[in-house]
Amino acid sequence: MSVPAHMADTESGGQKLDNVWERQQQKAFTAWCNSHLRKRSLKIENIQTDLSDGKLFLQMMEVVGDVKLPKAARGKMRIHKIQNLNGVMHYLKEKGIRLVGIGAEEICDENLKLILGTIWTIILRFDIQDISVEEMSAKDALLLWCQRKTATYNDVKVTNFHMSWKDGLAFCALIHKHRPDLLDYDSLNKGDALGNLTLALDVADRELGIAKMIDPEDVVALVKPDERSIMTQVAAFYKCFASYNKNEVAASKIANVLKMSKEHERLIQEYETMASDLLAWIPTAVGQLNERPVLGSVEACRENLTSFIPFRTEEYPSKLNEKAVLEAHYSSLQTKLRLSGRPPYVPSEGKMIEDINGSWGQVDAADAENKSWTLSELKRNKTCEQRAAIFYKKAGVHDAWATDQSELLNTDNYSMLNLGAVQAMIKRQEAFKHELSAKETAVHEIGMLANELDDLLYHGKDAVNERYASIYSNWDELQRQTAARDEALSPRSRSSSSWRSCGCRLQPSPRRSTPNWTNTSTSWMRRCSQTRRRRWPRLCSCFRNSRRRRCPSSRPDTLRTRSCARSRWSWSATSARRHPRARLARA
């Protein structure tokens, strides 16, 4: 059956295109096979014929897979070739590589397309599939790697594995990225695609040991270069620069380890410094809080409380924050050491977190004791001021009373008084003595206040003691003056000094507390009778009425009787017990 002319031309063009790609792939895959076989000093010239017996195929797979395969059969018969190729196929199957429609017989029959397909599958599995970036497929991962490496270069934009590599700039950018000393990227000409490709592949082969797997002329000549050939060449670049990357990663890891070690040392030094500063501040603060100055007044107590306001509102909170930062720093340091596989950090002696917390407790205890002591001192001083006010008030009242009484006691206002006035004076003296006894309690209270102020360590205790000593001395003097006045007002004193009369004397009655007039002088009676008209004189007063008279022979200040015989006063003679007149008549 004949074929139309235009269809024949199309079929012929497709065959030519397939032949170009096969030629590019054949060159690329042959170079790829030789890049592994040269490790055993082996080489193939024609991938179609040299792999058909299976011997070089086995050698290549041992190098690619880094594995030991069965030895190749020595025979040259077809059965021996298929036996060798079956060994390769069995290994590929173990690696999970599925070759659909390809067997040992097709390779033994030198089917070029199936051989190229088998080599491409091996390249994908052993060179490209291992490329992994962000969980992408091998092809996408390789493309992303290229994009990242060439992103900073002008006129390079990698989006695929055919047209993006045609001008050669992408290959030059990969080389310059990892080895900028091998070529000058800025001097390249974008329009010279053939020169750029040739330069990149020659430098890679000569300096980097990357086999030239594509022909620059074929790449430039084709409108769309073969994708598999470009990927094979790019994968070779990736494997070469991956070692650079590994070295860079290793160097980066070492640098990171050193950096991390320095960071750990810095954190340890910071901890030691912060802990030392905090531990040095704690004794100073405790000593300041334990100071007990003399607080002699309420104002001094308030000033002492005010002096600690900056400490309690600024210094203490600041140090408390430093302590919290130190604890967080210590925890972060231990976490970083644990994550980096290093042993935990053990601070020097006395700088453990537990030691710092224990020392910090001393600050809190000292602060609480300082507050309690200051408040107790404030209360004590308030009590002292209250007691001192009461003391001085009572002392002032007592001094005023004592001064007045002392002046009265020192006054001689009784010498010229008659009997009634003296008796009133004696009663007033007795009342004063009762008042003096009552005042003794007040003096005792003043003394108790002075003792209490002395026990409370009142700042004016010396003045208080002097004042109380003066009060006590005045009190003794007042008692002495009282005793002297009592002596002056006593009957013995009166009889010997100012109480001179006509012969009568004041004598207490045995039955009564009031004195009785007793006539003990007969001469007095005669004198009195001589001065009277009647035979029985009335002596000094009448016993029948309240009319008062005095003895003419007595002095003007002679005591007078209070009433008649029915009153408490009565006359009595030594031998008479009846009416005074009868007693006088008998006498």
Is it the case that residue 584 has pLDDT exceeding 60?
no
d(CA 127, CA 69): 20
- Structure confidence at residue 577 as a pLDDT band (50, 70, 90): very low
pLDDT digits over 459-477, tens only? 888 888 998 899 888 888 8
Is it the case that residue 8 has pLDDT exceeding 60?
no
> How far is residue 390 from each of residues 295, 475, 568, measured CA to CA in Å?
21, 19, 49
d(CA 521, CA 500): 13
Residue 250, pLDDT score: 65
Residue 318, pLDDT score: 92
For residues 332, 334, 340 and 342, what is the CA-based torsion angle, rounded to 10 degrees? 160
Is it the case that residue 127 has pLDDT exceeding 50?
yes
Helices (H), 347-460: 353-409, 419-455
pLDDT digits over 516-562, tens only? 333 333 333 333 444 443 333 333 433 333 333 344 443 444 333 33
What's the whole-number mean pLDDT along residues 400-416?
A: 81
pLDDT digits over 216-235, tens only? 888 888 888 888 888 888 88
What's the whole-number mean pLDDT along residues 106-123?
A: 87
Phi-psi sector, 404: left (phi>0), alpha (psi -120 to 50), beta? alpha
AA letter at 53: D
Nearest to 111 by CA among 43, 35, 26: 26
Strands (E) across 53-202 are located at none
Q: For residue 579, which phi and psi values (nearest 5 degrees)?
A: -60, 145
Give Cα 512 distance to the centre of its chain: 91
Nearest to 522 by CA among 565, 582, 574: 574
Over its C-alpha atoms, the chain yields an Rg (Å, rounded) of 69
What's the whole-number mean pLDDT along residues 17-39?
A: 81
Q: What is the mean pLDDT of the chain?
A: 77
Give Cα 454 distance to the centre of its chain: 43
Q: In what order do the strands lie in the sheet with 515-519?
A: 504-508, 515-519, 571-572
- Structure confidence at residue 16 as a pLDDT band (50, 70, 90): very low
* Contacts by 48-52, CB closer than 8 A, 24 or more apart: 48/110, 48/112, 48/115, 49/110, 51/107, 51/115, 52/81, 52/107, 52/108, 52/109, 52/110
What's the whole-number mean pLDDT along residues 487-494?
A: 62
Q: What is the CATH number of domain 13-128?
A: 1.10.418.10
Is it the case that residue 505 has pLDDT exceeding 50?
no
Number of H helices, E strands in the chain: 20, 3
Q: Report residue 5 as tokens.
A: 């002319």
- The answer to whether residues 381 and 453 touch, using CB atoms and an 8 Å cutoff, is no
d(CA 51, CA 47): 6
AA letter at 228: R
More reliable by pLDDT, 170 or 509: 170
In the three-class reduction of DSSP (H, G, I as helix; E, B as strand; rest coil), residue 240 is classed as helix
What's the whole-number mean pLDDT along residues 157-174?
A: 89
Query: Token pair 């073969």 is at which residue?
Result: 226
Is it the case that residue 83 has pLDDT exceeding 80?
yes
Q: Report residue 208 as tokens.
A: 């980097």
Share of the chain above pLDDT 90, in %: 8
What's the whole-number mean pLDDT along residues 180-186?
A: 88
d(CA 30, CA 24): 10
Give the residue extent of every domain in the chain. Answer: 13-128, 138-255
Q: Quickly count: other Cβ atoms within 10 Å of residue 251's Cβ.
A: 10
Residue 365, pLDDT score: 92
Strands 571-572 and 515-519: parallel
pLDDT digits over 251-300, tens only? 667 777 788 888 889 999 999 999 999 999 999 999 999 998 888 888 88
Share of the chain above pLDDT 70, in %: 77
pLDDT digits over 410-466, tens only? 887 777 777 778 788 888 888 888 888 888 888 888 889 889 888 888 888 888 899
Instruction: Give 305's contacts (C-beta < 8 A, 6+ positions apart).
Output: 374, 378
- The answer to whether residues 88 and 64 touch, using CB atoms and an 8 Å cutoff, is no
- The answer to whether residues 196 and 167 touch, using CB atoms and an 8 Å cutoff, is yes
Q: For residue 508, which phi and psi values (nearest 5 degrees)?
A: -65, 140
DSSP 160: S
- The answer to whether residues 92 and 99 touch, using CB atoms and an 8 Å cutoff, is yes
Is it the case that residue 200 has pLDDT exceeding 50?
yes
* Fold exhibited by the domain 138-255: Actin-binding Protein, T-fimbrin; domain 1 (1.10.418)
pTM exceeding the 0.85 threshold for the entire prediction? no
pLDDT digits over 362-377, tens only? 999 999 999 999 898 8
d(CA 204, CA 547): 166
pLDDT digits over 296-337, tens only? 888 888 888 888 898 888 999 999 999 999 999 999 988 888
